[in-house]
Structure 1
Amino acid sequence: MRTAIATSDYHVSGETFINRHIAHLFGGDTVVIAGRTNGDDPYGKPVFTRRQKLGAVDLAILPFHATRNRLLHGTSRLPFGTGYRALAEFLHAQKVEVILAEFGTQALAVAPIANDLGIPCFSYFRGTDASKHLRSRRICRAYRLMMPRLAGIVSVSQFLLDNLASVGVTHPNAHVIPSGVDVRRFAPGTKRPLSCLAVGRFVEKKAPLTTLRSFVEATAQRPEARLDFIGDGPLLSEAQSLAQELGAAGRVTFHDAQPHDFVRDRLETTQFFLQHSVTAADGNTEGLPTAIQEAMAAGCITVSTRHAGIPEAIEEGETGFLVEERDASGFTAAISRAMDISDKPAMATRARAVAETRFDNGRLIGTLEDAIRDTVAGRL
């Protein structure tokens, strides 16, 4: 089924979940609708870029269309004029049968033209689009107006669907389908005793300073324990200074941002995965972190928080340990408990089994394809 994947930026190497759909959905029979493109197209796909420089005629009619679209759709970001016609021609020429918008905010831009052309449109909600953005009454209204224009919605966690429902954004054809992980590439290796890993941007939502402090406190009597951070961001320098201040610089390594293969290799030999996710001040949350799914596939014991969709993946005491958000002392204790369990390989094996059963992206892409096919065929 010829599918157009609508995304904000193309190609972003870190957006593995979107790139996987571009490469593999319906056997790779896909094209791309991008807000912007950096010119990198590793999959050799036809690409349409929405955000083009406006000509004189489009600039003249912009105020009318912006006002009209805000009234009818709750957003002014829809294509119009030359851009509308070019996108319609692209979709027609590429024989697109369905549109999958990655993130709800992208669906706002493509759902109306999909309706005009009679193309079923689906939206995949992943995190920010169903948390931080819901602080905006304008976006909530736009989402509510959009729902009848969509053939269905997908979310990486039930948590995000509940978030949307709390502001009156619901759809009768809604599915929870995690992003998943390639369980054939992320697999357990020989684990380094007391090795810990944290992966992600150094931002408030990931609480890296809490992770660092708790690791240092939990391993005060375990000098052989090590923590690796992979990622960059605004809190990186503060975290590096804190490691020095805590006298842990020799036990904590900051790797900055690294390719996906580097992350995979580290997970393979890491015993404990640490992620103290919290709701940021602006309302931003996780959906269901891909890094945690990858860690489980690699047989890591996860220590994390009861945040967003994480409790939907981690079973307390069976595949990992969870504490409340911002409970720093609880997080320290949870790391200690994880390191003290007598049969670590058994917990690691259970984590791997859950990943194989619930987070195999090969199966999950099939689940998504079935949901789309059944909807288009009128079976849902």
Structure 2
Amino acid sequence: MRICIVTGEYHLPGETFINRHIQHIFGGAAAVVCGRYHGENPYDVAWFNRRGRDTGLADRLMMPLAVGINRLRHGTGRLPFGQAKRELKAFLKAQRIEGILAEFGTQALAVAPLANEMGIPCFSYFRGTDASKALNQGNIPGAYAKMMPRLAGVFSVSQFLLDNLAARGVTHPNAHVIPSGVNVRLFRPAEKRPLSCLAVGRMVEKKAPLVTLRAFLKASEGLAGAHLDVIGDGPLLTPARALVAEAGAEARVSFHGAQPHEAVRDRLAGTEFFLQHSITAANGNTEGLPTAIQEAMACGCLTVSTRHAGIPEAVDEGRTGWLVDEHDEAGFADAIRSAMTAGNRAAMAAEARQVAEDRFDNQKLLEKLERVIRETVAG
């Protein structure tokens, strides 16, 4: 089946879940429509850049009317029109596209009406921001509600996001929870460094890295060999370094900055505990179901995290990890301490690995995604 992946930017190395679809869905038969093209096409696919096109005089004159009509009809002015729309239609026809998968709900807004015009089934994948922060933008809930009847189906990485949408009146009868998953053949446990901890992710409010650091420093007091590695970059990296320096704890915490995916995988394999204090940001932004937690479980790491978004759908409290409420720094410290002093860590690590194989094997999840798309299109 010939599928077109619609995404905001191509190619972004960090969007492993989208890149896997581009490379492997239906045997690697995808084309790509993107909002921004970054000059790399590592999967050698046909691509179309929606925003990187010349706008003629006629389209510039028509823009206010076209945007206004689209906002009235579809709740958004993001839809292509004029020459851009004609070129996109020509691309989809030339590529013999049989289905469209928009990797975020906000991307589906731009292509669902055109897909309907062309008789191409269109699906959307909700992943986090598009079903949390985006819902606080005045026009988005209404635009999503108008879009839903135009979609053949909806996917989400967690039930939490579908519930978030439903709370705003946005539902679809053909909705499925399919996590992004992890390659369990590459992410595997190795010999664990005792009392080793790892935190991975952008150093931003949603990840609450300063809470993680303070909780770890408190939990690891008196535990010889306890060490936290931090991978990631972002605006809170400088304050994080300052916090550790002020505590005189440089020997217990190492900052590695942004690292390639392979380096994260190697570090996870030998790490005993994965720490992630995810919270809802002030602007409403949440996780979907963090890929890093799925990768950590595949590597046999015990997770200490929060009851946030889809995380409780992955981590079974007391069996594969520990969860606390958002912003509960003292509770997070106690949970880290409990993890590092637990006597059944090996059994819990084996359970975490088994859960990853059963629930988060991305090959099985990709096959499920393909099956739902095929059955929906056939129906």
TM-score (norm 1): 0.99
Name structure 1 gaps, 5 residues minimum. none
* Residue 223 of structure 1: how far off its partner (Å): 3.4
Residues of 1 paired with 2:357 and 2:232: CA distance? 26
Between the aligned partners of 1:188 and 1:223, the Cα distance in structure 2 is: 23
Q: How many aligned positions are there? A: 378
Give the whole-Å Cα distance in 2 for the aligned partners of 1:124 and 1:223.
Answer: 45
Write the mapping of 1:134-283 to structure 2, written as runs, cut at 5 A.
134-283=135-284
TM-aligned CA deviation for residue 345 of structure 1: 1.1
Q: Does 1:2 align with 2:8?
A: no
Q: CA deviation at 1:137?
A: 2.5
Listed one character per residue, the Cα deviations across residues 141-190 of structure 1 (whole Å, up to 9, x for unaligned) are 10000000000100000000000000000000000000000000000000
Instruction: Specify the SS of the correspondent of 1:122.
Output: strand
- Partner of residue 24, structure 1: 24
How far apart, CA to CA, are the structure 2 residues paired with 1:54 and 1:358? 46
TM-fit CA distance, 1:53: 3.3
Aligned structure 1 segments of 4 or more residues deviating by more than 6 angstroms:
none
The letter of the residue matching 1:78 is L
Give the 5 Å matches for 1:37-186.
37-51=37-51, 52-186=53-187
Find the counterpart in structure 1 of residue 290 from structure 2: 289
Q: Please list the CA deviations of residues 202-250 of structure 1 after superposition, one character each: whole Å capped at 9, or x if unmatched.
A: 0000000000000000001113111011000000000000000111112
Aligned to 1:319: 320
Secondary structure at 2:199's aligned position in 1? strand
CA positional deviation for 1:251: 1.3
Structure 2 Cα separation of the partners of residues 98 and 62 of structure 1:
28
Which residue of the partner structure matches residue 350 of structure 1? Answer: 351
Question: CA-atom RMSD, angstroms?
Answer: 0.6
SS at match of 1:137: coil
Please tell me the residue identity of whatever aligns with 1:39: G
Q: Which amino acid aligns with 1:37?
A: Y
Deviation for aligned residue 1:54: 1.5
Secondary structure in 2 aligned to 1:304? strand
Distance (Å, rounded) in 2 between the aligned partners of 1:133 and 1:179: 20
Moved more, 335-344 or 13-22: 335-344
Is the counterpart of residue 304 in structure 1 residue 331 in structure 2?
no
Instruction: Return the alpha-carbon distance in structure 2 between the equivalents of residues 180 and 316 of structure 1.
Output: 20
Distance in 2 separating the partners of 1:318 and 1:334 = 13
User: What whole-Å deviation, never above 9, does each CA across 1:244-271 have from its counterpart, x for those lacking one?
Assistant: 0111112111111110000000000000
Residue type matched to 1:127 in 2? Answer: G
Secondary structure of the residue aligned to 1:255 is: strand
CA distance in 2, matches of 1:55, 1:248: 60
Cα offset, 1:198, TM superposition: 0.3
Aligned equivalents of 2:248 and 2:316: distance in 1?
33
Q: Secondary structure at the match of 2:257?
A: coil
Q: 1:306-325 CA distances to partner (integer Å, 9 max, x unpaired)?
A: 00000000000100000000
Distance 2:325 2:260 in 1: 31
